[in-house]
Amino acid sequence: MKKRHPETVAIHGGSEPEHKSGPLATPIFQTSTFGVEDNDEQRRVTHSDRFYTRYGNPTHTVAEKTIAELEGAEAALLFASGMGAITTTVLALVRAGDHIVAQADLYGGAMKFFSHWLPKFGVETSFVETTRAADFERVVRPNTRLMYLESPTNPTLKLVDLGRAVGIAKQHGLTTLIDNTFATPINQRPIEHGVDIVLHSATKYMAGHSDLIAGVAAGSRKLMEQVWETRTTLGGTMDPHAAFLLLRGLKTLVVRVERHNQNALRVAQFLEKHARVKRVNYPFLASHPQHALAVQQMSGGGGLLSFEVDGTAEETRRFTESLRMFALAPSLGGVDSLVTLPVVTSHAMVSPEERKQMGITEQLVRLAIGIENAEDLIADLEQALAVVAPAKEHAHAD
């Protein structure tokens, strides 16, 4: 069959086209177990989606096939959360004595797993400055097994050069993994760059409505088989009802992401020109230090951006609390716009010195742009920015 476009895959992805009669929506197989005719059949179904839901479930299968096709992977697996997908997949691939290379900017939970949990089992990780992919080469050891990536990053929207990182990994026989949550398969398809496994917090854009927790891993059938074995043992499988909600979200993924991209670019351009804003981080702004790489490896900038208020820490807090349309809440990827201060959310546990090195100041604001009207979002930002006093040295320019 001709390769289908993502818009079509999102809607028809995992469902069987030959089934013309029957429900249009995928039924929720809200069951823990499945009955069989006899013990021969019992033996046959153990490795299927009709045995016991921790092993698999027909509602999962439809979502897994859809996501695999969107990512250009042979297979995908669902998990109870993004962290479930990350930890289970990594544990499936390493053993005591192994070494991992990872970039320095990672989702907080993943960073904690690599730096705190894996060492307890004799697995060490070396971290490399995210924007210097060539440096991965320097930390590779004879016992290095995995390269772990994430792009764009939270909250400063740095990118990792996928072609370069994968080139080094292939030369050293490493398995590459990427957390593709921020980009989604609509804006970035890492498997086409040679990445082996794509991970997602499907809680975010894939589900898209801030109403469930979900995770995904996608890759070759062989690797997913290994991950499946581990998932059935560790037990972080998704509930069938959550899989149904995820499928419902996936159907509109393409149109939502297109709107997130448009809105975020408009908001980024507005903020960049605003007198009370110092700096805007958004990959599709020409001012982004890796803009050339962004347009080369991504087809859209995504819905996340961050910026620095040209004011005090107190004014920055007041600004975030003065917004009417942006909810002050962590997370991202839903239809609603959200605002957070990384110093009180994702990076609250990081020391002030480390934060400074990462470019995370008291004035840094992160916006997760939703799919509302861009003019309305901009008007809300404009009224809230009025709480920031004009900088003295700028006053004459008004």
Ligand X SMILES: *Cc1c(COP(=O)(O)O)cnc(C)c1O
Interface positions with ligand X (CB under 6 A) = 81-83, 107, 109, 154, 179, 181-182, 201, 203-204, 213, 215
The amino acid present at 287, given as its one-letter code, is S
The least distance separating ligand X from the CB of residue 205, rounded to whole angstroms, comes to 10
Backbone phi, then psi, for 210, in 5-degree steps?
50, 40
The least distance separating ligand X from the CB of residue 82, rounded to whole angstroms, comes to 2
Q: Which of 204, 256, 259, 366 is catalytic?
A: 204
Our answer to whether residue 282 is catalytic in this structure is no
The packing angle between helices 374-385 and 313-322, to 10°, is: 140
The least distance separating ligand X from the CB of residue 263, rounded to whole angstroms, comes to 19
Q: Nearer to ligand X by C-beta: 140 or 159?
A: 159
Contact 118, 94 (CB under 8 A): yes
Cα 242–Cα 245–Cα 250 angle in degrees, nearest 5: 125
Cα distances from 217 to residues 78, 220, 221, in angstroms, run 7, 10, 11
Q: Which of 107, 148, 205, 282 is catalytic?
A: 107
Q: Residue of minimal CB distance from ligand X?
A: 82
Q: Nearer to ligand X by C-beta: 11 or 328?
A: 328
Contact 363, 309 (CB under 8 A): yes
Our answer to whether residue 55 is catalytic in this structure is no
Cα separation, 385 vs 397, in Å, equals 18
Residue 151 token pair: 């792009």
- Provide the H-helix boundaries in the chain: 6-12, 39-45, 58-71, 82-93, 108-112, 136-139, 162-171, 184-187, 221-234, 240-250, 253-273, 291-297, 313-322, 352-358, 374-385
Q: Nearer to ligand X by C-beta: 201 or 263?
A: 201
Q: Nearer to ligand X by C-beta: 236 or 311?
A: 236
Our answer to whether residue 204 is catalytic in this structure is yes
Q: Which of 161, 179, 239, 380 is catalytic?
A: 179
Q: Give Cα 214 distance to the centre of its chain.
A: 11
Which residue shows structure tokens 């742009």?
A: 369
- For residue 392, the tally of other CB atoms under 10 A from its CB is 7
Cα separation, 222 vs 312, in Å, equals 53
Cα separation, 207 vs 397, in Å, equals 46
Q: Nearer to ligand X by C-beta: 179 or 196?
A: 179
CA end-to-end span of the chain? 61
Q: Nearer to ligand X by C-beta: 131 or 276?
A: 131
Our answer to whether residue 310 is catalytic in this structure is no
- Which residues are part of the catalytic machinery? 54, 107, 179, 204
